[in-house]
Structures are given as structure tokens and as C-alpha cells.
Amino acid sequence: MPLTRNRREFVRDLGISAAAVPFLLNLPGLSFANQAKRKQRIVFVFSPNGIVPKDFWPDEEGANFKLKQILSPLEPFKKQVLTLHGVCDRIRGDGDGHMRGIGCLLTGIELYPGNVQGGSDTPAGWAKGISIDQEIKNHLQKDAATKTRFGSLETGVMVPDRADTWTRWSYAGANKPITPIDDPYQLFNKLYGRAKDNEALASVLDDIKDDLKKVGNNVGAADKKLLEEHAAFVRDMEKELKEQKNATVGHAVPKMELGIRKDNDNIPKISKAQLDLLVNSFQADFARVASYQITNSVGGARMKWLDINEGHHELSHEPDTNEKAQEKLVKINKWYCEQVAYLAKRLSETPEPGGSGSLLDNTLIVWTNELGKGNSHTMDNIPFVLVGGGLDFKMGRSLKYPKVAHNRLLMSLAHGFGHNVKTFGNPNHCAAGPLTGLV
């Protein structure tokens, strides 16, 4: 089960001894060194199957623009929104459109040849390189001033229980896809499991001390010494647990609604729980990079709560002339946008701990998609909608680019963190450097 695995893996990944664990896990970050500078954050949000361009992209260019229906939930944050039209995924090679769409989206590089067959294209495997979120995470984790407990959190909602090219977008490196956590309880345990463990532990310590005393009375004097020594260590631990509790996370451990099952109809509930936990982890500075993957490429969420009974993917293939289908697709995409808006809202309501403004002022949300348009499978004009002030881009604008490679945008994101990469992904698409006009 995930819980056990994660605990073990986590302890192992940290490479620290068991003795040190309790003193590290509950603290906001690995040290206080990371609290001095302004904290910059980035969240990547994925929704699948392309959008309906006419109801998505603003007609205007520049600061004076109107949000169309799909983007209307972002109205309250319009001054913090930046839409980027004309950014194209130029990566070709093995794999079908959806596979390359999601696999090359954050990596900017081709897929390996492999055995995953999609439609009539050549079969493919995993992406050949690291994704930009992991690149930024590694950059931040290298420096004590920006290092956090997890570095990054890969999350999602209703991601299918199968690892294939259609279900992964974050890569730790070539051939190293990262499984997103789409179960809020699993995410909760990753974030707060230790705090809960310590609570349970602290509450049984009195009984353990009594027990040690009782057992000590049953043995000879020479042996009793050993038990007394043992009891002293238990008292030490108790003291340390108390001290830690006082120095803890900076916000209350959130209460989770019990018993939400992983189920299509629960997508809204799960999505809210996951986004709340993401905001909490930023507040506690558990991580500064996150990704949030709604289903998967070719994702077939059935949004019955919007009175739509067809799966998203099958609808996305309907021609433009099918107006009913297009209406539904607009509603579906608007719902995705509402998730972005909810995240922005929560971030904007949360003051930056130890800094100025809100979390949103120091966070950039990058909402994107594996395709430009569902029924054509085009990878031109990939939806890129940015929200928040994390990278000091000039927000509140609608930009239109003349078909530029998305590798350049990925480079810009790294540069926004002071990580001035010369290329990212396939270097052939990087010659023109990071995107201009963002700041």
C-alpha cells in the first residue's frame, strides 16, 4: 500500500538515520536557511484533449482583453492572468498525438521507440528527458536557500492506475516518469503522516514509562540498570516530541473529510481536497514546485455533475459542426478552468508566511493541455494560461506569438527562477532563446 511504501521510501530518499527522522519530518523545511529570501513557486496544471479555441482564446492582444467563456472563472484574477497564444509543440517522432502531447509537453523532447501503440502512429515509450518542473525542482533543491522538504509534489485527480505514455507528464529524467499522487489520503499521509504518528506516539508514552517501571521491579538490580537507561531514553524522546510540537508546521494540520472514494463522480470533491492540500504545502513550505494532473491525456472524465454523460475524450473528437458537443466541451473546459480559479483563489486568500502579499503573488500557475484542439489533434497553439506573480512576468495581458516552439516557454520558466538554461529539451527548438515579451 502506498502509505508504507512512501514512509520507507521517504526515509530512504533522505538518506538519514532513523534516529534523526523525527526531528526533521515535522519541521516546515529542512532548515531555516530557506526562509530568508523571497519564495518563488510554480504549479503546473494539466487538463486533457485540447480546448475549443473560439471560446478560449481572447480576441484582443495586450492588456485590454476580454476573457471568453472557458476562461471566465478567472475574471476575479484577470490582472494576474497571462494568456499565451501561438506557442506550439514542435516535437515529432514516435508515438501518437496524445502520447507526444502529454509526454513532450513539459519535457520538450521526443519519446523513445517502445511498445505503446496508439492509433496508427508508430509505437513509443517514455520521454527522452527530464521535465521542466523537475528541472526547476532540482535547481531549487541544490541550494540551501531554496531547498524544501519535498522540493516538488506531483499530484492529480483520477489518474488511471496504469503507467503508460498517456498517463505521465512529469519526468525525473529520460525514461523516468513520475507517478502522480491522485489519492488525497495518500497525499495527506505524505505531508502530515509524521505529525499524526507523533501524536499517537506521544499519547502512549506515559503507559510505556509505567510499564518499564513495572518490568524493572521484576528483575535483579544489575539488570534493572539496563531498563532504567532505556526509560531515560524514552523520557528524552517525550521531551523532544513536546519541543517539536511547539515548533511545528505553522498551520493546523488540516482535517480531511473521511471516506472519499476514487470514483469518476467524486472528481469535484477529490479535486478540491487535493488543491487544498497543495495550498497547505506551500503555506508550510513543504515544496515550491508542484504539478496537478486532471485525469490523463485521452482522459475520459464523465462530468455528470454538469449533466454531461459522455466521456470527455469521445466528445473531443466531435467536429466543429456538432454544436451540442462543442457546447459540452466548452462546459467541460470551463470546469477545468474553475479548478485553476479555485487554486488561484485559495492562494490569493493565503498571506505569504514571513513575506509580503499573498501566496498567489509569489506563485505562478501554468495551466496547459496536450493538444491545441481535440478534433484536429493539432499541437499548434497549445493552451498556456498563466496565473499569479511567482515569476514576475508582466501579467494581465493576452499575448499572441507567431508560432513559437514551446521549448522556449519552458526555458523562460527556468529563467524565471534564475536558472538560466541555454537549451531545454530538444536543442533544435531552443536557438531563439527564452520567449521574449513575458516580463
Partner 1 sequence: MTSTLPKFGSTFLALVALSSLAPAQEKSGETIYRQMCAKCHGAKGEGAKQYPQPLIGDKSLKQLAHVIDSTMPDGSPDLLNAVESERVAEYMYGAFYSPDAQAKLNPPRVELSRLTVKQYRNSIADVIGSFRTPPKADAKEGLRAEYFNARNFQNNKKQIDRTDAEVRFDFGKESPKSETETKEKFDPNTFCIRWEGSVWAPETGVYEFVVKTDHALRLWVNDAKKPAIDAWVKSGDNTEFKTSMFLLAGRAYPIKLEFSKAKQGVDDSKKNPNPPVKPAFISLNWNRPGRAVEPIASRFLTPLKCPEVAVIETPFPPDDRSFGWERGTTVSKEWEAATTEGALETAAYIVAKLQDLTGVQPGATDRVAKYKAFCRVFAERAFRRPLSAAEQSLFVERQFEAAGDDAQLAVKRVVLIVLKSPRFLYPDANGASEQYAVASKLAFALWDSPPDKELLDAAAANKLGTREEVGKHADRMFNDPRAKAKMRDFLLTWLKLDQAKELPKDAKRFPGFDEALAADLRTSLELFLDDVVWSANSDFRQLFLADELYLNGRLAKFYGAEPPPEAGFKKVKLEADKRAGVVTHPYVLSSLAYTGETSPIHRGVFVGRGLLGIGIKPPMEAFTPLAPDLHPNLTTRERVLLQTKANACASCHTIMNPLGFSLENFDAVGRYREKEKDKPIDASGSYETRTGTTAKFTGARELAKFLASSDETHYAFAQQAFHYFVKQPVRAYGLAKPEELRKTFADNDLNMRKLVVEIAVIGAMPRKELAPSK
Sites of contact with partner 1 (CB under 8 A): 1-5, 7-8, 11-12, 17-19, 21-22, 96, 111-120, 123-126, 128, 163-166, 174-175, 193, 197, 200-201, 203-204, 207-208, 211-212, 215-216, 218-219, 222-223, 226-227, 229-230, 233-234, 236-237
Alpha-carbon gap, residue 255 to 288, rounded angstroms: 22
Residue 110 or 352: the one with the smaller Cβ distance to partner 1 is 110
Q: Which helix (DSSP H) or strand (DSSP E) does residue 314 occupy?
A: helix 312-316
Least Å distance, CB 324 to partner 1, is: 28
Residue 167 or 291: the one with the smaller Cβ distance to partner 1 is 167
Least Å distance, CB 217 to partner 1, is: 10
Least Å distance, CB 235 to partner 1, is: 10
Least Å distance, CB 3 to partner 1, is: 5
Question: Which cell goes with 105?
Answer: 509537453
Question: Which cell goes with 150?
Answer: 519535498
To the nearest 10°, the Cα dihedral for 369, 373, 376, 382?
A: -60
**Pairing of β 81-88 and β 397-405:** parallel
Decide: 87 and 381 in contact? Cβ < 8 Å.
yes
Decide: 13 and 262 in contact? Cβ < 8 Å.
no
Residue 196 or 403: the one with the smaller Cβ distance to partner 1 is 196
Least Å distance, CB 93 to partner 1, is: 12
Residue 202 or 404: the one with the smaller Cβ distance to partner 1 is 202
Alpha-carbon gap, residue 264 to 161, rounded angstroms: 13
Residue 216 or 355: the one with the smaller Cβ distance to partner 1 is 216
Residue 145 or 163: the one with the smaller Cβ distance to partner 1 is 163
Decide: 355 and 36 in contact? Cβ < 8 Å.
no
Task: State the chain's maximal CA–CA distance in angstroms.
Answer: 91
Least Å distance, CB 189 to partner 1, is: 8
One-letter identity of residue 78:
K
- Its sign, for the CA torsion 131, 134, 136, 138, is negative
Residue 125 or 383: the one with the smaller Cβ distance to partner 1 is 125
Alpha-carbon gap, residue 221 to 243, rounded angstroms: 33
Least Å distance, CB 150 to partner 1, is: 18
